[in-house]
């Protein structure tokens, strides 16, 4: 069965992508392609300097729309593209945003198309997103930092910059974020902030319980669902800490990551943080934590040495992290995950009752481990409901956003006196 297509997360969104001068203009073509692929309707405008780095024809071909390059565009109604474009867009994304352009924006100057449009846009419904790109010395200069602070105070969102190799041959901060990171930032901008101000702690991935210095007990959890939830929660405005077992996944933007190996490592990382959350916080236990660990760790690799009888492993039970958190004197809103191979609702309900949880999210482990899609079953004291509602499979990012919205709704009701 083919997995569902990745969601068009910007479907119907109207954006203006503006390019000021800089070598990073070459990244704008890929950014434009990603925005359009995500469903956005993108109109491009380019400064005179930007046209020295990338051609108008390229951006027009990728957007499928005319590219605006002058404030005197006769094709625009009333010859006022800076008015018309700002009225039509939900966000003005300037990428790259040069030091010179940001200085003009901070001062409220309006002497060319990009700054005119930024100044004339209806601020309450057209956001200003800036992706700085410049030499490290230019970025760190006090004048630039004053301008950035002023732009933030005026309501602009500053996306980046990144740290890395620069066109001048130097290395440092000032490099424009890569197109996928900018796409994620734009998607996050449009997400409802249903968890604004909330502290959220989440576990993800497997644990690894060593038998000897080489081998260990683990499971097939990829961590993808937990990482998708961490990203969705951050996009919903939460301050997210992700405690991750041994997985090879990039950390979602805006998320604090703590890497662990064993179940005990995870317990030690989670408990003090969960205690600090209190009833206002949220704890989501998506990690597939090993129930058992070897009672002793062999100091060296266990060898066959021609023996036909395998070594006998004595196992000790790991502590139940979710149960410990739920039993705190002032626990956060706790969400458990039940990865089962059969009788999903029955096992999920047993976990709900035994650990005294407000919500358990069930899924069939063999059908989801390592996959990019999944289907969930939400189990609470009132009953059970599938997610998606029709019981089909959906992309884990889609499921994560829907589940975060559901958790936010339930948390709000849980906090009511």
- Give per-residue pLDDT as tens, 316-352: 999 999 999 999 999 999 999 988 778 888 999 999 9
Q: pLDDT band at residue 151, thresholds of 50, 70 and 90? A: very high
Q: Stretch 287-310: mean pLDDT, rounded?
A: 86
pLDDT at residue 53 greater than cutoff 50 = yes
Annotated binding-site residue numbers for CTP: 291, 301, 337, 351, 355
User: Which residues constitute the domain of residue 403?
Assistant: 199-293+310-415
Active site residue 401: no
Q: What is the pLDDT of residue 3?
A: 42
Q: pLDDT band at residue 54, thresholds of 50, 70 and 90? A: very high
pLDDT at residue 211 greater than cutoff 50 = yes
Q: Same domain, yes or no, for 186 and 206?
A: no
pLDDT at residue 311 greater than cutoff 50 = yes
Q: Where among 167, 190, 213 does a domain terminate? A: 190
Higher pLDDT, 311 or 92: 92
Q: Stretch 49-69: mean pLDDT, rounded?
A: 95
Q: Same domain, yes or no, for 55 and 99?
A: yes
Q: Stretch 8-14: mean pLDDT, rounded?
A: 92
Q: Where among 190, 219, 235 does a domain terminate? A: 190
Q: pLDDT band at residue 184, thresholds of 50, 70 and 90? A: very high
Helix and strand numbers (H, E) in the chain are 14, 21
Q: Same domain, yes or no, for 212 and 167?
A: no
The one catalytic residue in 126, 168, 334, 401 is 168
Q: Same domain, yes or no, for 211 and 266?
A: yes
190 contacts: CB under 8 Å, gap ≥ 6: 10, 13, 90, 91
Q: What is the pLDDT of residue 153?
A: 97
Please choose, from the candidates 33, 37, 90, the residue with its C-alpha nearest in 3D space to the C-alpha of residue 59. Answer: 33
Question: 300 lies in a domain?
Answer: no
- CA distances in angstroms from 371 to 225, 227, 335, 393, listed in the order given: 9, 13, 22, 11
Q: What is the pLDDT of residue 120?
A: 95
Question: 301 lies in a domain?
Answer: no
Between β-strands 14-19 and 292-294, what pairing exists: parallel, antiparallel or unpaired? Answer: unpaired
CB atoms within 10 A of CB 147: 20
Residue 71: which CATH number?
Answer: 3.40.50.1950
Question: 298 lies in a domain?
Answer: no
Q: pLDDT band at residue 303, thresholds of 50, 70 and 90? A: confident
Question: 287 lies in a domain?
Answer: yes
Q: What is the pLDDT of residue 139?
A: 97
Q: Locate tokens 């950390």: which residue?
A: 251
Q: How many domains does the chain have?
A: 2
Please choose, from the candidates 256, 257, 245, the residue with its C-alpha nearest in 3D space to the C-alpha of residue 288. Answer: 245
Q: How long is the chain?
A: 417
pLDDT at residue 367 greater than cutoff 80 = no
Q: What share of the chain is helix, strand, coil (3-state, %, to 5)?
A: 35, 25, 40
Q: pLDDT band at residue 5, thresholds of 50, 70 and 90? A: very low
Q: Where among 135, 161, 190 does a domain terminate? A: 190
Q: Same domain, yes or no, for 356 and 246?
A: yes
Higher pLDDT, 236 or 8: 236
**pLDDT over 70 for what percent of the chain?**
97
Q: What is the pLDDT of residue 2?
A: 44
Residue 254: which CATH number?
Answer: 3.40.50.10300
Q: What is the pLDDT of residue 79?
A: 77
Q: Same domain, yes or no, for 174 and 95?
A: yes
pLDDT at residue 232 greater than cutoff 90 = yes
Q: What is the pLDDT of residue 368?
A: 66
Q: Stretch 388-402: mean pLDDT, rounded?
A: 89
Alpha-helix residue ranges (DSSP H) falling in 179-262: 179-190, 224-235
pLDDT at residue 220 greater than cutoff 90 = no
| Residue 399 near residue 387 (C-beta atoms within 8 A) | yes
Look over the chain and give the mean of its residue pLDDT values, rounded to a whole number: 92
């Amino acid at each position: 069965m083919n997995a569902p297509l990745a969601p068009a997360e910007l479907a119907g969104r109207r954006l203006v992508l503006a390019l000021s001068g800089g070598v990073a203009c070459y990244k704008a073509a890929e950014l434009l392609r990603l925005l359009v692929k995500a469903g956005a309707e993108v109109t491009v405008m380019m400064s005179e300097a930007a046209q020295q780095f990338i051609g108008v024809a390229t951006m027009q071909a990728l957007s499928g729309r005319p590219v605006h390059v002058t404030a005197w565009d006769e094709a625009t109604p009333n010859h006022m593209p800076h008015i018309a474009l700002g009225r039509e867009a939900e966000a003005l994304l300037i990428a790259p945003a040069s030091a010179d352009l940001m200085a003009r924006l901070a001062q409220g100057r309006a002497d060319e198309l990009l700054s005119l449009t930024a100044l004339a846009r209806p601020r309450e419904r057209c956001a200003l997103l800036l992706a700085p790109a410049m030499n490290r010395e230019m970025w760190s200069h006090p004048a630039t930092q004053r301008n950035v602070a002023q732009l933030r105070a005026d309501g602009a969102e500053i996306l980046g910059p990144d740290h890395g190799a620069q066109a001048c041959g130097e290395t440092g901060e000032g490099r424009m974020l890569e197109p996928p990171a900018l796409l994620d930032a734009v998607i996050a901008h449009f997400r409802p902030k249903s968890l604004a101000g909330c502290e959220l702690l989440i576990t993800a991935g497997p644990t690894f319980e060593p038998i000897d210095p080489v081998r260990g007990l683990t499971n097939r959890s990829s961590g993808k669902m937990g990482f998708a939830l961490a990203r969705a929660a951050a996009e919903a405005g939460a301050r997210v800490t992700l405690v991750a077992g041994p997985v090879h996944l990039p950390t979602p933007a805006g998320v604090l990551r703590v890497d662990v190996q064993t179940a005990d490592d995870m317990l030690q990382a989670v408990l003090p943080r969960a205690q600090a959350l209190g009833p206002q916080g949220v704890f989501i236990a998506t990690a597939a934590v090993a129930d058992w660990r070897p009672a002793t760790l062999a100091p060296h690799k266990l060898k066959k040495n021609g023996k036909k009888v395998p070594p006998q492993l004595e196992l000790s039970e790991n502590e139940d992290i979710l149960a410990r958190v739920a039993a705190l004197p002032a626990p956060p809103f706790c969400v458990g995950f039940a990865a089962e191979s059969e009788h999903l609702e029955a096992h999920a309900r047993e976990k709900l009752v035994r650990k005294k949880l407000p919500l358990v999210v069930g899924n069939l482990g063999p059908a989801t481990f390592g996959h990019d899609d999944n289907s969930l079953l939400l189990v609470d004291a009132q009953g059970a409901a599938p997610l998606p509602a029709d019981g089909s499979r959906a992309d884990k990012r889609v499921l994560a956003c829907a589940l975060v919205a559901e958790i936010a709704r339930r948390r709000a009701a849980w906090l009511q006196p």
